[in-house]
């Protein structure tokens, strides 16, 4: 075996090594892409389900209106709560299922960024709507079950307001926790896809 034969064998070994490295890099890229896609899809589906639940809450408000139809104050409160939920549904109209099969890395990155910005902008708005609906529905349910009317018996509102305040604080903490987790995960998916896009362009 002469020197040229050794060089050719060495080149062939290097070519095979480069092909294996390339295949492994492509596999890793596919895994990272699917991880970002799956994680984003899960968060998106949860948000879409929440959007659709707004209509369910609006419908429940109508049921409660029927149960407390003898009190105009409760009817007005429930109508406002129901309207807020319907408005929330349309406010989140941008949340739609994504056809991931047609998305490139850049397009998926854009979808994730758009979703992240939307959730960040509407986080406390969502919290306020849910808190208002829970208060209206809870008070109406209490009136229907026990006959207690907060508008006719204001002397008992002190403890009730404390409970609502506690609920408000809990809602704020949950909002920060849930949407903070959303933001962290989505930013990581964006960063990972940015790395893949850089690699793919090389």
| Per-residue pLDDT at 3 exceeds 60 | no
Hey, which bits of the chain come out as E strands?
A: none
Inside any domain, residue 4 = no
pLDDT band per the 50, 70, 90 thresholds, residue 23: low
Domain that holds residue 48: 33-201
Inside any domain, residue 115 = yes
Q: Indicate the number of domains in the chain.
A: 1
Inside any domain, residue 6 = no
More confident site: 18 or 50: 50
More confident site: 124 or 26: 124
The model's pTM: 0.78
Inside any domain, residue 20 = no
Inside any domain, residue 59 = yes
**In angstroms, rounded to a whole number, what is the distance separating the alpha carbons of residues 53 and 159?**
30
Summarize pLDDT for 107-161 with one digit per residue, the tens. 888 899 999 999 988 888 888 898 899 889 988 998 898 888 888 876 666 777 7
**CB–CB of 143/149 below 8 Å?**
yes
Structure tokens belonging to residue 22: 């390339």
DSSP conformation letters of 42-84: HHHHHHHHHHHHHHHHHHHHHHHHHHTTT-HHHHHHHHHHHHH
Q: Residue 136's pLDDT is what?
A: 92
Inside any domain, residue 66 = yes
Which residue do the tokens 């209106």 mark? Answer: 65
The Cβ of residue 31 has, within 10 Å, a number of other Cβ atoms equal to 10
Structure tokens belonging to residue 146: 């026990």
**In angstroms, rounded to a whole number, what is the distance separating the alpha carbons of residues 20 and 28?**
12
CA torsion 112→115→116→122, rounded to 10°?
Answer: 180
Which residue do the tokens 């490139």 mark? Answer: 104
**In angstroms, rounded to a whole number, what is the distance separating the alpha carbons of residues 77 and 111?**
37
Q: Residue 33's pLDDT is what?
A: 80
Inside any domain, residue 180 = yes
Q: Mean pLDDT across the chain, nearest whole number?
A: 83
Q: Residue 149's pLDDT is what?
A: 83
- The residue among 185, 181, 183 whose CA lies nearest residue 35 is 185
Summarize pLDDT for 63-94 with one digit per residue, the tens. 999 999 989 999 999 999 999 999 999 999 99
Q: Determine which helix (DSSP H) or strand (DSSP E) holds 184, and give its type and residue range.
A: helix 157-201
pLDDT band per the 50, 70, 90 thresholds, residue 44: very high
- The residue among 138, 136, 158, 154 whose CA lies nearest residue 146 is 138
Inside any domain, residue 61 = yes
- The residue among 107, 99, 104 whose CA lies nearest residue 41 is 99
């Amino acid at each position: 075996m002469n020197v040229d034969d050794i060089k050719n064998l060495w080149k062939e070994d290097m070519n095979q090594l480069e092909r294996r490295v390339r295949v492994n890099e492509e596999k890793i890229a596919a895994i990272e892409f699917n991880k970002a896609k799956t994680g984003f899809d899960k968060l998106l589906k949860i948000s879409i389900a929440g959007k659709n639940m707004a209509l369910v809450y609006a419908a429940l408000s109508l049921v409660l209106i029927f149960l407390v139809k003898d009190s105009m104050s409760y009817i007005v409160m429930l109508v406002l709560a129901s309207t807020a939920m319907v408005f929330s549904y349309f406010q989140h109209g941008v949340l739609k299922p994504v056809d991931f099969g047609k998305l490139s890395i850049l397009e998926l990155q854009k979808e994730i960024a758009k979703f992240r910005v939307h959730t960040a902008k509407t986080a406390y708005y969502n919290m306020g709507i849910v808190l208002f609906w829970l208060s209206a529905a809870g008070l109406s349910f209490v009136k229907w079950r026990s006959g207690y009317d907060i508008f006719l018996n204001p002397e008992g509102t002190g403890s009730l307001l404390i409970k609502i305040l506690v609920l408000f604080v809990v809602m704020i903490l949950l909002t920060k926790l849930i949407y903070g987790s959303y933001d962290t995960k989505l930013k990581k998916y964006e960063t990972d896809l940015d790395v893949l896009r850089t690699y793919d362009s090389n």
